[in-house]
Chains A and B, each alone.
Chain A
Amino acid sequence: MAPILSLKKVSKSYGAIVIANNLDLDVGEGEALGMLGPNGAGKTTLFGLITGTIRANSGRIEFLGEDISRLPPEQRCRRGLARSFQVPQPFGGMTVFENLTVSAAFSKNRSERDVYQDCARILDECGLTDKANLKAGSLTLLDRKRLEFARALATKPRLLLLDEVAGGLSEAECELLVGLIKRIRKTGISIVWIEHVIHALVATVDRIVVLAGGVFVADEAPENVVLHPKVAEIYMGLPGD
């Protein structure tokens, strides 16, 4: 099957900090890919490269077979790329519902009514219906994270990039969001999910890659990834081979 997203020899560094060094990656249509890596490895920056808020030093990024390397972020969004942020960044002064409708502001061929219905459905899926009219700035962390999902879904993505969903949440709250991710998967949306909480990843994704030193040091089925020496080294502080 043709990949939905391909990185081809993508390189990016900040001075001496190497984020990506000739990085190749394919994400399959409908696939859920997990991404691990030590703090500061460049996982979040990679999302910036894919969504277009950060420019790579070299290499090509293809989405749905098209080279999007030179497209601005809004064009990439309109082609079906969306992300959530590690630290939620809602439009704080707007209501939860308004946050979702922003994406519809300039999408042609959608009546205001369709947009409202879509957004109401997404809010419902994300468990935010009763908070629809609250200012987004007043939400709890869990609801802010839900809003990150909801707002991304409102752009009608084909590929959803999730950055550290579990961070800062209790086990039970984390479970809620993992359930939500599983439901999103079922709708056919492809996912790349950065997460430090390995067991949450393992239970959800098809494959896990590990980013370190600008390259993927591991690319494994979820159940094998914990056995990988590099992962053991990074997460358990054990010496690698």
Chain B
Amino acid sequence: MIGTLNAMIQGLLLGGLYALFAAGLSLIFGVMRMVNIAHGDLIVASAYFAYFVMQMLGIGPFTSLLIVVPVVAAFGYALQRWLLNYTLGAGDLPPLLVTIALSIILQNVLLIVFTADVHRLQAGPIEIASWAFNSELSVGVLPVLQFVTSVIIIGALQLLFYKSSFGRAFRATSDDQQVAQLMGIETRHIFSLAMALSLAVVAVAGVFLAIRTNFNPFTGPLLLIFGFEAIVMGGLGSLWGTLVGGILLGIAQAIGGQIQVGLPFVAGHVAFLAVLYFLPQGLFPKVSQ
């Protein structure tokens, strides 16, 4: 019983990261109606980049974020501005095909540069530090830190969207691209900023995840699926819903893992399918306009 409770708390805390993956994904979809198949691979690439920066400079993963986040964001801007923007405006297929290609390219470049060996980011003593409630129930410092960071980032995104001129430009573009342009908004720039923001968010999540779990060049597609599942469970278009979706996914996986070691992902998929079946709009459907 205590074991299950422990697992659920673990799952809940991990869910914050899934919510960040999902937030990055739904930001892109919301602003430019583009499904970024390479999303998971970009997360993994960010983790590798953090690994590289840590090796080069001899710093820890948290400090590396100071370099990783801006560089990954700049990369996202350039990627959108000079590649992905050209795939938009001619139906759903071109961006899908190009991001599938990007996914394959990223995986293989990572394979060549870093080999197929699993990697992990070393964070030092904080990895095993924990708060014990009693002899059986304890919570790791690191997972709590991850979760709090996730909630803060989601809250910041929420503020950005609803309280800043930047966010208004995002929402206007998402609502009607052409009218937004006619109001002086350079949509190609907005799209590129959205990609930069999306990747900045998932870079943080990617680094946190890479401290907890092993990754290799082919981990990306799995993370993409987690992102999708969290979005769909939470309901498209609501950031707090996405957070809840991510948490549900984390808890489902944790309970699955409790039942049997090989089961967490299957349990996550089952929870996802159950939500999809019973609440096809997700838990927090977007109120229709």
Contacts and interface: CB of A to CB of B under 8 A. Distances in A.
B92 interface: no
Nearest to A98: B168
A101 B165 contact: yes
Contacts, number: 78
B184 A94 contact: no
B208 to A, nearest CB: 32
Contact of A92 (B183, B187, B289): B289
Contacts of B86: none
Interface in B151-193: 165-166, 168-169, 171-172, 175-176, 178-187, 189
A208 to B, nearest CB: 25
A53 B175 CA distance: 17
Contact of B181 (A73, A93, A104, A115): A73
B175 A104 contact: no
A137 B185 CA distance: 21
Contacts of A115: 165
Contact of A137 (B184, B189, B289): B289
Given A106-B169, A112-B165, A53 B289 contact: no
Interface residues of A, number: 31
A103 B180 CA distance: 8
A137 B289 CA distance: 6
A137 B166 CA distance: 21
A74 B181 contact: yes
A72 B183 CA distance: 12
A230 B165 CA distance: 49
Contacts of A106: 165, 169, 184-186, 189
Interface size class of B (residues with CB under 8 A): 20 to 34
A74 B289 contact: no
A6 interface: no
Contacts of A107: 184
Given A91-B171, A91-B175, A92-B289, A102 B185 contact: yes
B186 A93 contact: no
Contact of A94 (B166, B168, B187): B168
Nearest to B162: A98
Nearest to B167: A105
Contacts of B169: 102, 105-106
A105 B168 contact: yes
Given A98-B168, A101-B165, A105-B166, A93 B289 contact: yes
B284 to A, nearest CB: 15
B27 to A, nearest CB: 16
A89 interface: yes
Nearest to A110: B165
Contact of B186 (A72, A94, A101, A137): A72
25 contacts: A73-B181, A74-B184, A74-B185, A74-B187, A77-B183, A77-B184, A89-B179, A91-B176, A91-B179, A92-B289, A94-B172, A98-B168, A101-B168, A102-B180, A102-B185, A103-B185, A105-B165, A105-B166, A105-B185, A106-B165, A106-B184, A106-B185, A112-B165, A155-B183, A155-B184
Given A74-B182, A83-B182, A99-B172, 13 more contacts: A73-B181, A74-B187, A77-B183, A89-B179, A91-B179, A93-B175, A94-B171, A102-B168, A103-B184, A103-B185, A105-B165, A135-B289, A154-B183
Interface of B: 165-166, 168-169, 171-172, 175-176, 178-187, 189, 289
- Shortest beta-carbon contacts, A-B, top 7: A105-B169, A137-B289, A77-B184, A73-B181, A92-B289, A103-B183, A91-B175
